[in-house]
Amino acid sequence: MVLDPIVDTGAESTGHTALADDAELVAAINRGSHAAFESLYHRHRDWVVNLAFRFTADEALALDVLQETFLYLLRKFPGFELRASLRTFLYPAIRNLSIAARRKAGRCQADDFENEILGSLPAPEAGVAGDEDLAVVLAKLPVPQREVLLLRFVDGFSLEEIAEALSIPVGTVKSRLHNALQTLRADPRSRQLLGE
């Protein structure tokens, strides 16, 4: 497979910079520090709720998922060990809780949720020319490719973090990202965003 310069040299992970601090907070929570949990909650709350909204496309469901996610994290204490970044750890939980929330709300069929979860991107910001086109092109991407693309460029995950979060090999992450970018390059509506 041809290496894609964007795939291989793109954005650096934001997770690594926060890892040390998160690890310290986790250690303090293991000792029973409520203040440390509060810090951790406020540090990741907005990311969690926005990610949940990406999966559910429903504000009330996203707020439910936010609560469930942190209650799930809370149940890991004491004795929780942070082996990767916290967001890498939380991502599958948010994804699964969102799927469960949508299923419970009757918004997706059990057999089809994989294709449904990323099915609705938020409406583009009004007045920004070209974003509507990008949304249309993104909607045509296969769900696994779109998920990797958003993790990489919106959430700032490294390739390794994406692999960890999705439990897939790094090579699969690279090929999904490469294919997604190829599709964007091939489409005249999104080509200019890749400097073509």
And the tokens for 127? 């007045």
Among 12, 21, 67, 142, binds other proteins (CB under 8 A): 67
Q: What residues numbered 91-120 form the site for other proteins, per CB under 8 A? A: none
Measured from the CB atom, is 21 or 38 closer to other proteins? Answer: 38
- Does the footprint of other proteins cover residue 63 (CB under 8 A)? yes
State the Cα–Cα distance between residues 53 and 113, nearest whole angstrom: 15
CB 43, min distance to other proteins, A: 13
The angle formed by the CA atoms of residues 87, 110 and 100, to the nearest 5 degrees, is: 35
Applying CB under 8 A, which part among 12-20, 105-113, 130-138, 166-174 lies near other proteins? 130-138
And the tokens for 97? 């809780």
Q: DSSP strand E in the chain: where?
A: none
CB 9, min distance to other proteins, A: 8
Neighbours of 173 (CB within 10 A): 25
CA 189 to chain CA centroid, Å, is: 24
Applying CB under 8 A, which part among 12-20, 82-90, 121-129, 157-165 lies near other proteins? 121-129
DSSP annotation of 10 reads: S
CB 164, min distance to other proteins, A: 21
- Does the footprint of other proteins cover residue 140 (CB under 8 A)? no
Q: What residues numbered 152-181 form the site for other proteins, per CB under 8 A? A: 153-154
Residues 6+ apart with CB under 8 A from 82: 19, 22, 23, 26, 89
And the tokens for 35? 């203040």
Which residue has 């310069």 as its token pair?
A: 5
- Does the footprint of other proteins cover residue 10 (CB under 8 A)? yes
CB 64, min distance to other proteins, A: 9
